Chain A
């Protein structure tokens, strides 16, 4: 039981997404994270640690423990 828990912990990590902590699997890509968020009808812009990551690079961007992810969407404005 203890061993199982240890493996589970070992395989997960925490990232910060829009100021909220979220547990993701180790080796999780940005693409997978955005999939998990859902709302497929939206077009998102994403930055990891304040660097904009273009959509074409989401699948090759691997997240690391403690990464800060910002996900932004379109809204109305003047």
Chain B
């Protein structure tokens, strides 16, 4: 498919980008508000065009373990879900991280806890960047704030996943998954040939030829001294990501006295709040986080030296703010403004919070 401009839902963009980016397999389980990902794939029938495998699993437990099995053969395998389903996948995610298997997972967050609501939320930040599953591990976590980014980040996710042999989490929410926007599609990247697969994944379980010893995919190491060495290797990989792979967008931050810090849907709202503030003569900027892990610590520390205060806007009770405060070393006033349980704040109330809590 050639490049074109189309109107589509965020979830649809994820599905179309998977096909276009040469994804080999998708395994999923329906859950609102992201079921359009699998629905789009099933309607598109990519197995007849690119050869991509699409399968509806019996549960999120099964789908994440199908990702494990398929991705461990060195193929590009992805899944998607929403908060309660992602909770079920945490076991699989820590195994994927522990076995260093590249793969892509999309979470269209909805309000919790428990079954919660099917409306958008951003209350899985802790789960996404602080572990979620057991053990010391990190998922490369990238947060789109538009349908276009939903599409583009799938391509970026494959690059990162295979560069670092690490799972990549595209962390979005029900609003971006469900909203329709224009989106530029890209030329198809063909799925890897057998030779390319072996070249990109020499560690993969694709059948042991006589020329190499057998490849083993496992996260088990009963000898603690070797497990510690392995964990040190993982940590070194995470430090390298922190050094090289931080992404963010600084809007009107050069002359700003005050800034919003936000990602995803909240960042979109803050863009409007910032416009309203500027119209009132308030020098307000926005630091839009794109990667949540690695977190833009240095950039926040630098900004904290220049501005008088920051307002963290999240559709949660206040999760990302902890990392912002740590990065800024609490050197300036930093407050949280959030709505949750599926409520999306208005630009006006966000600006009001900035004026009340930070500008005063």
Whether chain B is bound by chain A comes out as no
Residues of chain A whose beta carbon lies under 8 Å from any beta carbon of chain B? none
Chain B residues within CB distance 8 Å of chain A: none
